[in-house]
Homo-oligomer: A and B are copies of this chain.
Amino acid sequence: MDALAGLAQANRLEIFRLLVQRGPGGVRAGEIASTLGLAPATLSFHLSALRHAGLIECEAAGRERIYRVAFEHMHALVDYLTENCCGGADCHPANQRRSA
């Protein structure tokens, strides 16, 4: 639920998608701010929300901080949404698409 709330805000969703697209290398906070045009305090607020939601991780590198997606958690979220779909039985065909 925190994860969904994390992504429910336009700025946070943009941050998250930027990080998803950049992959494991991550992105510096400052670069996120300039890319998305956010004030430092505002960015920090949202990064904090995403971090508490478990959706992103942070690594210190000197005086910079590098943020990246927590990929495992991202997939857990995706699975959560379809959990116990249709009570497990006689499931709608569309829901078979992803079964492992």
Interface residues of A (CB under 8 A from B): 1, 4-5, 7-10, 13, 17, 20-24, 71-72, 74-75, 77-78, 81-87, 90-92, 94-95, 97-98, 100
Q: How far is the CA of A65 from the CA of B10 in the complex (A)?
A: 31
Q: How far is the CA of A61 from the CA of B21 in the complex (A)?
A: 44
Chain B residues with Cβ under 8 A from A77's Cβ?
A: 81
**A interface secondary structure, majority:** helix
Output the least CB separation between A15 and chain B (Å).
13
Q: Tell me if A22 and B87 are in contact (CB < 8 A).
A: yes
CB closest chain-B residue, reference A12: B4
- Apart from A1-B8, A17-B83, A24-B86, 9 more pairs, CB < 8 Å: A4-B7, A5-B8, A20-B82, A20-B84, A23-B90, A23-B91, A72-B94, A78-B81, A78-B98
